[in-house]
Amino acid sequence: MEILQQYEPILAIAIGVFLCLFGYRIKKVAFVVIWFLIGYYLMSLVVENITQDPIWQQILPLGAGLLLGVLGFSIEKFCIFAVATFTVSTTLIDLFQMSEPIPIAFAVAAGVIVGCIAVAFIKPLGIVTTALSGAKLIAKYTVSGLALNHEPYFLIILAACFVIGCLYQFKSNRHLG
């Protein structure tokens, strides 16, 4: 499992590029990937409270990711809501390095609002959400991998990848409903 951690930044950036440029075109696959990442991320936050065994600390996040990935494939509108909510919330939390409950609650509320809007406007916001999800992965792992000062570089990389992803997806998905 240490090998997986060693290649985590490369894998995350590759997934980020995939989501950023092709997320809406193959949205079911994108939902599986995003839901896998959500399950993996959330279980990684709590796994130390569940077990102290290092093997299980590696297996449980993978299992949670796989479980949510399978669920994500079958419930599209809920996925759009949840992915938009999660992506916007965690991007705000990461961008402003929030750690206090009240600002985090506002970030989650903003995510929920965007999630509700995303369900009403599935195609454009599906494109924006998958582009933002991919851009966030690219920015987060590029900044940490290159040991750059977090805030300005994270924001610059996030914005650049997001704009490129949106432009590319809107252009290449004109014919899709």
Is pLDDT above 90 for 170? yes
Does any domain span residue 61? yes
Does any domain span residue 64? yes
Domain total of the chain: 1
Does any domain span residue 177? no
- What percent of the chain has pLDDT above 70? 96
- Where residue 97 falls (left for φ over 0; alpha for ψ -120 to 50; beta otherwise) is left
Does any domain span residue 148? yes
List, for residues 6-24, the tens digit of each pLDDT value: 788 888 899 899 889 988 8
The domain in which residue 82 lies consists of 2-172
Tokens 């599906």, residue located:
126
φ/ψ (deg, to 5) at 72: -60, -30
- Residue 171 — pLDDT band, cuts 50, 70, 90? very high
List, for residues 46-104, the tens digit of each pLDDT value: 998 999 998 999 899 999 999 988 887 777 788 778 888 988 998 898 888 888 989 99
